[in-house]
Structure 1
């Protein structure tokens, strides 16, 4: 890496929170499914399950349904972790005059998302700060043609200091304007 190139790694779905939720929903879903099946069979499949007070229809059936949903969600999260969905990098190369944005997607024809723009096509760097119930702290690359490409990771907002530093550094490196769009609730 030289002084004319900047590369920012973007973390995808391989986050501690996704590992936690995949494990928690998998175990919870398995527990619900085993309890529902135990109420149907009228036999406790696990010694910690006491299903004698649960009638299969409707309680046991609903527990089986929730168990399947939990296992399906856990399986989905596990696959996104396995496939590294959302992982990639943002590369800014002044020497070649290009901005390259790379991300991994879901398997298929468009698994590799690889977009390149000329640095001359970049109008500005925009920062969006939104606090409240669903906080959003995102850096956007504003390109000619009214396109805005998000540069930051999804899911876990960066701290204000991190986002300010990265956006200011990037705008200074590209010699482009830095725009701020904020709303605090």
Structure 2
């Protein structure tokens, strides 16, 4: 999902800022274009079966009867086109990208993530640094669903994830990143 831009974030003695960006944009573009083209093909074949004429010569619909196959192909085509356009819009808007900033000058922690275009879609979470109790590492290993998270533990509140990785790092790299944040904030590091 998201990945830290580099392992050397903007850091001085008073401010630690980590840029979060989407890692696999090229792969997403390829998948979205394939879904868009496939959905368009399904829709064209469905419409061709209704008018009994091949709109595109290499998409033969002579064997397709409009009811029920043509209707189903139109439905699948429309669904695929809507999904791919939505995913392309999300990729263009850079939804999910943002930054984590720990500012000792202001005494604030700010977590910002960009949303899709629309009213109030961005996520901007601000807490006092004094509310931070600890930094927590959470590792969930599964055959197909491995997750690694770094969370901020707040006093008397829920933990807030500041880094969620679906493509796991080595354990020592994850621990190094979490310990860097914990040492900057002078709070303990916890594991789960």
2:181 counterpart of 1:170: yes
Query: Structure 1 residue 13: deviation in Å?
Result: 8.7
Could you tell me whether the CA contact under 8 Å between 2:32 and 2:88 is conserved in 1?
yes
Distance change >3 Å, CA 99–CA 121, structure 1 → 2: same
- Runs of 4+, deviation exceeding 6 Å: none
Query: 2:6: which partner in 1?
Result: none
Aligned residue among 87, 93, 111 for 1:101: 111
Distance change >3 Å, CA 89–CA 167, structure 1 → 2: same
2:128 counterpart of 1:145: no
Structure 2 unaligned residues grouped into runs of 5+: 1-9
Query: Structure 1 residue 171: deviation in Å?
Result: 1.4
Query: Structure 1 residue 17: deviation in Å?
Result: 3.2
**65-74 or 77-86: bigger deviation:** 77-86
2:3 counterpart of 1:15: no
Q: Secondary structure at the match of 1:81?
A: helix
Query: Structure 1 residue 149: deviation in Å?
Result: 1.2
CA distance in 1, matches of 2:187, 2:34: 45
Query: Structure 1 residue 55: deviation in Å?
Result: 1.4
Q: How many aligned positions are there?
A: 180
Query: Structure 1 residue 61: deviation in Å?
Result: 1.0
Query: 1:60: which partner in 2?
Result: 70
Could you tell me whether the CA contact under 8 Å between 1:29 and 1:66 is conserved in 2?
yes
**57-66 or 109-118: bigger deviation:** 109-118
Aligned residue among 14, 33, 49 for 1:4: 14
TM-score by length of 1: 0.87
Could you tell me whether the CA contact under 8 Å between 1:140 and 1:149 is conserved in 2?
yes
Aligned residue among 42, 46, 66 for 2:52: 42
- CA RMSD in angstroms, aligned pairs only: 2.0
Query: Structure 1 residue 153: deviation in Å?
Result: 4.6
2:127 counterpart of 1:117: yes
Distance change >3 Å, CA 11–CA 107, structure 1 → 2: same
Aligned residue among 162, 166, 170 for 1:160: 170
Structure 1 unaligned residues grouped into runs of 5+: none
Query: 1:89: which partner in 2?
Result: 99
Query: Structure 1 residue 163: deviation in Å?
Result: 2.5
Query: 1:25: which partner in 2?
Result: 35
